[in-house]
Amino acid sequence: MSEAIIPTLANAADALAGRGLFAILGGEFSAEISRAGQHRSLDAGEVLFHQGDAGDTAFILLSGTLDVWVDIGDERVRMAVLRPPQMVGEIAVFANQPRIATVIASEEAELLAIERKALLDLVQDSDTAGQAIIADLGRRLATVNTPLAFLSTATQLLRTERFDGEALAEMARNVGSLGPFADTFGTMVQEIRAKQERRQDMEMARRIQESVLPKTLSLDPGRAAIAATVRPMKEVGGDLYDYFMIDETRLAIAVADVSGKGVPASLFMMMFHTALRAIARSGLAPDEVMSRVNAQLAEDNEQCMFVTAFFGVLDIVTGELTYANAGHNPIYHIGADRRCTVLPAAKGMAVGLTERAAYKAQSIRLAPGDRLFLYTDGVTEAFSLDRELFGEERLERLLEVGAALPLERWMGSVLDAVDRFAEGAEQSDDITCLALAFQPGG
């Protein structure tokens, strides 16, 4: 608090006469304004006036402090702190405009309230009051211009991501009465920088994740064809598709979905992917591959994360498909008759939950022209604006109707249908699809 001022009308004139603007106006004007004013007390936290209120009264702060806040959208920013004997609200009075800020007592405060007519009459009757008040407003505006210039420069630097912390320190040394706003700006800078760093981390994670997705595989087009895509819900997804040759005739395919979202889920999926590829290349049966991958991920899995996955190995010469399913959704088989059926169950627990999980392998023989459709539940659990689920029945009909389409267009028809169904509803999960055709020319 500034030097003590006894907050009574009896000595307000003496308290004002020698200070700030009122020293210029003189003792007689201070006495006049003291007689015209009405005493006003505020408790700590009490609002003097709100932004947008009618500006029909000016106030002179006799004791205590006031915080000046400006509402910008849904945010409230503290712009300045007022101390005795500053006048507040006079701009709205002279301009006959609504209040441009909200003023709140930060501690108990005593004020003189002067209504518009009384203040205008006093100024009109004084030979020097108008000029002195204009000069004081000019001085206050001048002290604001430099801080605003610093803030504007800092904002531009921040927008172009060239912001230097030293610029903020220099700004804080020159902001004067806008010190509280500089503090708010500094906090905002820290938050923005944290978000920028997080965005950079997410972008790096996304690039790493994309880098492990399989590139174009050199397959004899007469033997097999593959189309696959992943559409993350966030910057970094928790879904995975993979395909690779174990040897000259055996093609490995996989689709997986990790619990959770964001970077932790992505990292856990990367662990799954690394283990799956390493173990699968040893030539073990799919159920044994899943068992060993599970043992690695379940060990020290303190976050209790898990992965649902389908892993299969297709002999591209004979058409024999051997596979294991670790808690994943059904995989569809579309035969020459274009009927969509679910592969025989190969039930097993999701990977990572317990080291004792067991898996069972199943086998079928694909005929030339047969197709498989692997997906994650982001497809069937897509929501419409009415909160209706896309569902498995709708997916099965699409797979049958489009079975004669080229493989890429067949998969794309599913994604297009999901988009039309959602009608702009926010994507609720990662979406991943893998389509395979055995001997497409057969």
In 3-state terms, what secondary structure has residue 49?
strand
Instruction: Report the pLDDT value the prediction gives residue 315, as an integer from 0 to 100.
Output: 96
Sign of CA dihedral 60, 100, 94, 53: negative
* pLDDT bracket for residue 44 (50, 70, 90): very high
> How many Å separate Cα 34 from the centre of its chain?
53
The enclosing H or E element of 141 equals: helix 129-159
Compute the Cα dihedral for 314, 315, 321, 323 and give only its sign. Answer: negative
Position 94 in a domain: yes
Rounded average pLDDT over 105-122: 87
Same domain? For 77 and 151 the reply is yes
Please return the burial class of 260, using the count of CB atoms within 10 Å of its CB with bins 0-12, 13-18 and 19+. middle
SS3 409: helix
User: In this structure, what CATH number is given to the domain that contains residue 430?
Assistant: 3.60.40.10
Asked whether residue 183 falls in the same domain as residue 308, the answer is no
Q: How many domains does the chain have?
A: 2
Mean pLDDT of 129-142: 62
Residue with tokens 């101390």: 83
Among 10-24, 366-380, 413-427, the minimum mean pLDDT is found in 10-24
Which of 212, 194, 201, 211 has its CA nearest to residue 234? 201
Domain that includes residue 84, residue range = 9-188
Asked whether residue 369 is domain-assigned, the answer is yes
Q: Are residues 104 and 37 in the same domain?
A: yes
Q: Are residues 94 and 172 in the same domain?
A: yes
Structure confidence at residue 297 as a pLDDT band (50, 70, 90)? very high
**Do residue 174 and residue 245 come from a single domain?**
no
For residue 427, which of 375, 373, 379 has the smallest C-alpha distance? 379
Specify if 162 maps to a domain: yes
Query: What is the residue type of 146?
Result: T
Q: Is the pLDDT of residue 350 over 90?
A: yes
Burial 303-312 (b: 16+ CB within 10 A, else e): eebbbbbbbb
Is 278 inside a domain boundary? yes
CA proximity to 113, closest of 35, 174, 10, 20: 35
Same domain membership, residue 127 and residue 71: yes
- Do 263 and 408 lie in one domain? The reply is yes
Question: Which of these three, 188, 221, 246, is where a domain ends?
Answer: 188
From CA 231, how far away is CA 228, in angstroms rounded?
10
Q: CA 117, 123, 128: angle at the middle one, nearest 5?
A: 180
Taking alpha carbons only, the member of 236, 213, 239, 224 closest to residue 374 is 239
With beta carbons less than 8 A apart as the criterion, state whether 61 and 16 touch. Answer: no
Same domain, 223 and 158: no
DSSP letters spanning 277-295: HHHHTTT--HHHHHHHHHH
Same domain as 35, residue 167: yes
Rounded CA-CA distance 418/412 in Å is 10
DSSP tag of 54: -
Is the pTM higher than 0.85? The answer reads no
Residue 49 covered by a domain = yes
Same domain, 225 and 151: no
- Predicted confidence (pLDDT) per residue in 391-430, tens digit: 999 999 999 999 999 999 999 999 999 999 988 788 778 8
Tell me how far apart the alpha carbons of residues 114 and 122 are, in angstroms, rounded to a whole number.
Answer: 10
**Across 297-315, average pLDDT:** 91
SS3 40: strand
51-105 pLDDT tens trace:
999 888 989 888 899 998 888 777 777 778 888 878 788 777 777 889 988 999 9
Residues 16 and 141 in one domain: yes
